[in-house]
Chain A
């Protein structure tokens, strides 16, 4: 019986000096949904991801994964509990091969680093990793250096690497940034496919088109607060959302 939502963010507060990055932010991610989070630049979207994944310690509030409080846990613990993420400014292991990027974080060994020293069956991990690369259309590049990938490929590898940890919940931080229309189209397909592997996906974007097609539900943020949530149609009709987007020059 899983009554608790997949992720619950309860009145999260994060301050940097005088700046309020997150101001009493609350929302939930339900089983099986692709939740879109939108908001203009500086609305606190990346701060939110950093607080949930343990990069920042929030000043107040809680983050619960299936009802379990994970606030303030070390980054790697949160990673192991099933929250994986990608980065807005792509951060691959650049001097490792594409396959190694995925294999290095393979779930089974990450938990037992010393046991992995003695394990002599790289075959399984390779097959699992190759399967993930295939899903993200990167299998042909398996032995290339990650640093040599084109922009779109690098973004896909970040997603592939996150999948290698077998996450329950995946945070994608502006996955389409810098992509052209064609690449974005293909990416939408990829992310939909991922939805079958994980229990939930949170996509943070300010590209409105991508989020409108992809997400099953939306949360709109501005100044660190939730200003609207619901279906895409509802959220984009909300006067506060319209003002946030028109009032400030973004896109």
Chain B
């Protein structure tokens, strides 16, 4: 049981970060559940039907989903704000319906036979991605992304290729969600399209929002807290969605930037 909870906490950290990466450039995606599904099914097919080992299967699934995410993003990112929320929600529904009707991967019945994902895989990836995000947060690239998030048009007017960077972030976020999905599939051993409904996308976004999206620790804390706390506090588990919803509503009212709201300066002037 404990192992299950830890595993899902790790998966949720990865998913919350996949939302965070896309949010770095100012776009909010409700399609990460769909990218998770694409990664889960792609990796599952590669190991079960083609006999690939887990790691290469995950890598291929991530690359494929990342590319698919970038291709979808190119037109979708013409919209922003709630319009983008709606477009990405639509993508999630489309992917789910398509999977339900794809007999090759079992349709509504689902796909089974995957195995091999362990806690080590998940937390190894968490460490790797965390290190990468930390490295990014100290880089000049993040400063450009911040500029895009603040005002995309102005950033573009000053020479930043905003669309390119936004598509890049979208692809990277999709790839990370796919990795999480692939690990999820090889832990659960059996997946069905309904595992990746729009609610998954919603929850993942709310993890990130709860923790705060101005630094990489916020989404991590949000995912861990909202995955593990209901399990740790006796009697809370059965009230999970209620607690979850209430916490988010209150949080947005009193602390709209999340639990860990700070954004550290990436560059300081000479005088200390």
Q: Of the 9-residue stretches A59-67, A89-97, A232-240, which lies at the interface with chain B?
A: A89-97
Complex Cα gap A222–B26 (Å): 38
CB distance from A56 to the nearest CB of B (A): 12
Q: Which 9 A-B pairs have the closest CB atoms?
A: A142-B269, A79-B159, A93-B150, A116-B140, A105-B158, A104-B147, A75-B156, A80-B159, A104-B143
Residues of A within 8 Å of B150, CB to CB, are 92-96
Pick the residue among B141, B160, B266, B271 that contacts A76 (CB under 8 A).
B160
A97 near B267: Cβ-Cβ < 8 Å: yes
- In the complex, whether B121 has a CB less than 8 A from a CB of chain A is no
B140, B153, B163, B268: residue with the most chain A Cβ atoms closer than 10 Å: B140
Q: How far is the CA of A104 from the CA of B136 in the complex (A)?
A: 14
Give A104-148 as 1s and 0s: 1 = Cβ < 8 Å from B's Cβ atoms.
111101110110111100100110011001000001101100000
Contact among A80, A84, A100, A133 for B266, CB-based, below 8 A: A100
Closest to A127 in B: B270
Give bound CA distance, A104 to B267, whole Å: 10
Q: A99-B267, A101-B147, A126-B269 are in contact. List 15 more A-B contacts (CB 8 A).
A: A74-B163, A79-B159, A91-B151, A99-B268, A104-B146, A104-B155, A109-B144, A116-B140, A117-B135, A122-B267, A125-B140, A126-B270, A129-B267, A143-B265, A162-B158
The answer to the question of A87 belonging to the interface, with a C-beta cut-off of 8 Å to chain B, is yes
What's the interface size class on B, roughly? 20 to 34
Distance in Å from the Cβ of A159 to the closest Cβ of chain B?
12
In the assembled complex, B247 has its CB within 8 A of some CB on chain A? no
* CB 8 Å contact bits of A179-209 with B (1 = contact, 0 = none): 0000000000000000000000000000000
Contacting residues, chain A, for B141 (C-beta < 8 A): 109, 113-114, 116-117
User: Does the CB pair A139–B161 fall under 8 Å?
Assistant: no
Report yes or no: B265 in contact with A97, Cβ–Cβ below 8 A: yes
Q: Which residues of A contact B135 (CB under 8 A)?
A: 117
B151 near A93: Cβ-Cβ < 8 Å: yes
A117–B146 CB distance below 8 A: no
CA–CA, A95 and B162, complex, Å: 18
B135, closest chain A residue (CB): A117
Given the interface pairs A104-B143, A116-B140, A117-B140, the reply to whether A79 lies near B267 with Cβ below 8 Å is: no
Q: How many A-B residue pairs have CB under 8 A?
A: 127
Q: Is the interface of A mostly helix, strand, loop or mixed?
A: helix
Report the bound CA distance from A96 to B139 in whole Å: 15
B contact set with A: CB distance below 8 Å: 135-136, 139-141, 143-144, 146-147, 150-151, 153-165, 263, 265-271
Asked if A225 is at the interface of the complex by the 8 Å CB criterion, the answer is: no
A94 to B266, CA, bound (A): 15
Q: Is A71 an interface residue (CB 8 A)?
A: no
- B158 A87 Cβ-Cβ under 8 A: no
Is the CB of A229 closer than 8 A to any CB of chain B? no
In this assembly, does A85 line the interface, its C-beta being within 8 Å of a C-beta of chain B? yes
Does A55 have its Cβ within 8 Å of any Cβ on chain B? yes
CA distance A142 to B265 in the complex (A): 11
Contacts of B146 in A (CB 8 A): 93, 95-96, 100, 104
Q: In the docked arrangement, what's the CA distance between A99 and B268, Å?
A: 7
Chain B: CB-nearest residue to A140? B271
Q: Is B144 within 8 A of A104, CB to CB?
A: yes
A74 to B139: give the CA distance in the assembly, Å. Answer: 26
Interface contact B159-A165, CB-CB below 8 Å = yes
Given A75-B157, A87-B154, A99-B269, CB of A113 within 8 Å of CB of B165: yes
Contact, CB under 8 Å: A109 / B157: no
Q: How far is the CB of B210 from chain A (nearest CB, A)?
A: 20
In the bound assembly, the distance between CA atoms of A129 and B146 in angstroms comes to 17
List, in ascending order, chain B residues with CB within 8 A of A226's CB: none
Minimum CB–CB distance for A141 against chain B, Å:
9
